[in-house]
Structure 1
Amino acid sequence: MNSELAGRLTDEGHELDVRIYFEDTDFSGVVYHARYLHFLERGRSDFLRLKGIGHRQLMSGSLGNPMAFAVRKMEIEFLRPARIDEVLLVSTRTRQLGGARVLLDQSISRDGEVLVEAQVKVAVISPEGRPMRMPKRVLEVLAPETL
């Protein structure tokens, strides 16, 4: 694995740099609103990957029972636009852990200015799509030091 591609873990959670390409923008060079969901997903996936619990490990059951995460709810606020060729910072942190869910706070910023804020509720599901409790090992890995 090339860990530089996955961003970096921080004391608060995870950070990932994302460059804006032509494919991310509308005709005026402004990022299309739905693309921010892609950037946020990359942040969540790479956060898990660097914590040692990538999607393959979760589904294989190597960390407990086979499981997956599914976004159940997302509140997103678009504060400022981003434009082609800019480099954005996607930040992810665990706000709360439960037996069958994770609440995450995410933001996308440019040079310290927050462009997008999102609160994400992620459910733990079995490979068949049924709700389940999170394996203890996964809970331990995701728990931030400050919880």
Structure 2
Amino acid sequence: MTVHRLAVRVYFEDTDAGGILYHGSHMRFFERGRTEFLRDLGISQSLTADRTDPGALLFVVRRFAIEYRKPGFLDDLLTVETEIGAISSPRFTVAQRLLRGDDLIASAEVEVVATGGNGRPRRLPPAMAALIDGAR
């Protein structure tokens, strides 16, 4: 299985008043991990996100389950690990972990669905499905 890793730093904007990583920031970090993983596969979301194009392909999150394990803190250097799970076009799952060294800060399972510009599910193009499947 391919594991994609992305380093992220916790800035003041990512924390609550106590300097602890705000729960919503975890979701942003996980989004960055998924986006960069797809980009490294050659799938740029900016090229697929034109809703006015009848052939548009958009990725939307259908389900996001997160488990918070330990706090993150201001100025921590964290790693977002991302792996592709099951694929059943038009959807696929992504397993993600947020780590500080070897310490698990949070984990998430995300179900992503490909949709057309009209918001309805749309099968992944075969070449794109092969890229994503090949990263498992």
**How does the TM-score come out when normalised to structure 2?**
0.91
Structure 1 stretches lacking a partner, 5+ long: 1-10
Structure number with the bigger relative contact order (C-alpha 8 A, sep ≥ 6) is: 2
Q: What amino acid maps onto 2:12 in structure 1?
A: F
Give the whole-Å Cα distance in 2 for the aligned partners of 1:84 and 1:29: 5
Cα distance per residue 1:59-117 (max 9 Å; x no partner): 46xxxx53011000011000000000010000110011111101110010001111101
Contact 1:94 1:144 in 2 (8 A): no
Residue 59 of structure 2 corresponds to residue 69 of structure 1: yes
Q: Report the 3-state secondary structure (helix = DSSP H, G, I; strand = E; otherwise coil) of the residue aligned with 2:31.
A: helix
Residue 38 of structure 2 corresponds to residue 42 of structure 1: no
Give the whole-Å Cα distance in 1 for the aligned partners of 2:3 and 2:124: 19
Contact 1:13 1:144 in 2 (8 A): no
Give 1:6-85 correspondences, 5 Å limit. Answer: 12-59=2-49, 65-85=55-75
Identity %: 33
Q: Report the 3-state secondary structure (helix = DSSP H, G, I; strand = E; otherwise coil) of the residue aligned with 1:143.
A: helix
Q: Report the 3-state secondary structure (helix = DSSP H, G, I; strand = E; otherwise coil) of the residue aligned with 1:88.
A: strand
Structure 2 stretches lacking a partner, 5+ long: none
Give the whole-Å Cα distance in 1 for the aligned partners of 2:4 and 2:131: 13
Query: Over aligned residue pairs, what C-alpha RMSD do you find?
Result: 1.4
**How does the TM-score come out when normalised to structure 1?**
0.85
Partner of 1:118: 108
Residue 118 of structure 2 corresponds to residue 131 of structure 1: no
Equivalent in 115, 132, 135 of residue 142 of structure 1: 132
Contact 1:12 1:93 in 2 (8 A): yes
Q: Report the 3-state secondary structure (helix = DSSP H, G, I; strand = E; otherwise coil) of the residue aligned with 1:34.
A: helix
Give the whole-Å Cα distance in 1 for the aligned partners of 2:26 and 2:135: 28
Partner of 1:3: none
Q: What amino acid maps onto 1:38 in structure 2?
A: R
Runs of 4+ in 1 over 6 A off after TM superposition: none
Q: Report the 3-state secondary structure (helix = DSSP H, G, I; strand = E; otherwise coil) of the residue aligned with 1:106.
A: strand
Q: Report the 3-state secondary structure (helix = DSSP H, G, I; strand = E; otherwise coil) of the residue aligned with 1:47.
A: helix
Residue 85 of structure 2 corresponds to residue 91 of structure 1: no
Contact 2:84 2:135 in 1 (8 A): no
